[in-house]
């Protein structure tokens, strides 16, 4: 892989669609960081911005508050993540109704992880949705939400094999999901192989790569193990010796992520979802390298303020 491509960044930028993921803030400082990031990235006119949902429904209010602010103060199209963790169907349905009333028309529908932590065995609520496929059906029965779901190029750790994993994706699609965003990955070959398997299984929705810029390699390695995402040796080599050098790390991270995305573009991918971690700088740099340019207008908070 190389960052130097035949296609010009400008040509790339015109053909690419991006979306950005944020998480709800847990403090005043985090709130400012979130909104600075939203403001910085909004001018790239993302297809949508998504807001995550905490384990056990613990962030229902902050997720809703963040979405309401996005709807009230920007022209961005928000998508609310929603999980089934520790909640009956009635509770989840009530949350969906509340989000609908607030103006949410797009959900990222997920099963979620055990409240004991990622990797602990998942037990559905006795009266709850057992998995994301059931949740998708529940949401679609209530209203014609746009529904995005998860996908796992290296398979979900709970899945005994790829076919079980892809079978779950198929159930989600059969129940009404129209887009999947992948777990983060660094090996583009595994993504390509996965998409081939998915297509062979008769699933034709977009499988949008979830791109995670590496802010902290040491933390990433711990987290990736729990999520079933592999860390290739070449990635470890690139961050070797940089644990105490955040400035160089972020330069390397931007190059690595841009390289990954450009390689995916070369393989025909045009839609990308960025896990921003509420930090705009790296994602901004990557989008810029890809030829995307900030435009005034849609999605731009300052344009609203100026109006
Ligand atoms: P599902 O699609 O229901 O299942 C995932 C896989 O596990 C399936 O492929 C299936 O084969 C296997 N599986 C499920 N149940 C069983 C079982 N009983 N036995 C055997 N195999 C089984 N988490 C949050 O808490 N909040 C978020 O906002 C959030 N956002 C996310 C966004 C994206 C794009 C992604 C990829 C993940 C996100 N997660 C989030 C993490 C997600 O909740 C976990 O990965 C969770 O473990 C699985 O949820 P899911 O919807 O993918 O589950």
In tens, the pLDDT along 196-240 reads: 999 999 999 999 999 999 989 989 998 898 898 999 999 999 999
Q: Which residue, by CA, sits nearest to atom 40 of ligand 1? A: 112
Residue to probe by mutation, ligand 1, list 56, 81, 137, 158, most atoms within 8 Å of CB: 158
**Cα–ligand 1 centroid distance for 90 (angstroms):** 20
Please, what is the average pLDDT of the chain? 90
Q: Would the pLDDT of 303 be above 60?
A: no
Tell me if residue 154 is catalytic. Answer: no
pLDDT at position 3 is 40
Spell out the alpha helix ranges (H) of the chain: 9-15, 28-41, 60-73, 89-102, 132-142, 162-174, 188-200, 217-227, 233-239, 246-266, 280-289, 301-306
**Cα–ligand 1 centroid distance for 206 (angstroms):** 18
Provide the token pair at 207.
């499988």
Pocket of ligand 1 (CB under 6 A): 52-53, 55, 81, 83, 108, 110-113, 131-132, 150, 156, 158-159, 164-165, 168, 181, 183, 210
Q: Three-state SS across 109-139?
A: ECCCCCCCCCCCCCCCCCCCCCCHHHHHHHH
Instruction: List, in order, residues 6 or more apart from 64 with CB less than 8 Å away.
Output: 80, 98, 99, 102
Q: Which of 168-177, 259-268, 293-302 has the lowest mean pLDDT?
A: 293-302
pTM (two decimals): 0.94
Q: Would the pLDDT of 104 be above 60?
A: yes
**Cα–ligand 1 centroid distance for 262 (angstroms):** 27
Give the H/E segment covering residue 161: none
Instruction: Provide mean pLDDT across the span 62-80.
Output: 96
Q: Would the pLDDT of 190 be above 60?
A: yes
Q: Which residue, by CA, sits nearest to atom 16 of ligand 1? A: 158
């Amino acid at each position: 892989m190389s960052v130097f491509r035949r296609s010009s960044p400008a040509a790339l930028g015109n053909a690419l669609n991006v979306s950005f993921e944020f998480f709800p803030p847990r403090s005043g400082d985090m709130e400012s960081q979130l909104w600075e990031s939203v403001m910085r990235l909004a001018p790239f006119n993302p297809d949508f911005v998504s807001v995550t949902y905490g384990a056990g429904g613990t962030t229902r209010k902050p997720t809703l508050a963040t979405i309401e602010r996005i709807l009230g103060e920007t022209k961005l199209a928000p998508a609310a993540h929603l999980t089934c963790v520790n909640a009956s169907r009635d509770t989840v349905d009530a949350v969906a109704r509340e989000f609908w009333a607030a103006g949410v028309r797009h959900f990222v529908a997920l099963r979620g992880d055990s409240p004991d932590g990622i990797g602990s065995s998942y037990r559905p609520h006795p009266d709850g949705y057992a998995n994301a496929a059931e949740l998708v059906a529940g949401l679609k029965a209530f209203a014609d939400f746009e529904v995005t779901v998860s996908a796992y190029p290296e398979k979900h750790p709970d899945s005994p094999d790829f076919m079980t994993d892809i079978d779950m994706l198929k159930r989600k699609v059969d129940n009404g999901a129209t887009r999947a965003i992948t777990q983060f990955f660094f090996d583009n070959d595994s993504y390509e192989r996965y998409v081939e398997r998915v297509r062979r299984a008769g699933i034709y929705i977009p499988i949008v790569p979830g791109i995670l810029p590496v802010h902290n390699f040491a933390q990433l390695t711990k987290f990736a193990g729990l999520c079933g995402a592999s860390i290739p040796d070449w990635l470890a080599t690139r961050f070797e010796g940089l644990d105490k050098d955040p400035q160089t790390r972020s330069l390397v991270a931007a190059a690595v992520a841009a390289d990954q995305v450009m390689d995916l573009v070369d393989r025909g991918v045009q839609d990308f979802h960025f896990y921003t971690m509420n930090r705009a700088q790296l994602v901004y740099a990557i989008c810029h390298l890809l030829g995307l340019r900030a435009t005034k207008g849609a999605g731009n908070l300052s344009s609203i303020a100026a109006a």
